[in-house]
Amino acid sequence: MECPICSCKDLGKIGRKKYFCPNCCTEILIQSNVMKIISLTKKGVAKVTKTILLDANATS
């Protein structure tokens, strides 16, 4: 699996279905068939900035 934002393949796993990209400082949350991109604002508030619908046939 790679970061959908910067294509970095060095994602760290920080939860059961949660990843963190150290390259662009983005959290990636996998929820059933959607991938949520969570970025921190300048105030340090986590905000979902993008929701990507995953291919139901995709495996990772």
Backbone torsions φ then ψ of 30, nearest 5 degrees: -100, 120
Dihedral sign computed on CA atoms, order 17, 51, 32, 60: negative
What are the beta bridge partners of residue 48? 38
39 binds Zn ion (CB under 5 A): no
24 binds Zn ion (CB under 5 A): yes
3 binds Zn ion (CB under 5 A): yes
| Other CB atoms within 10 A of residue 56 CB | 7
Tell me which stretch binds Zn ion (CB under 5 A): 20-28, 32-40, 47-55: 20-28
Residue nearer to Zn ion on the CB measure, 7 or 31: 7
Number of residues forming the site for Zn ion (CB under 5 A): 7
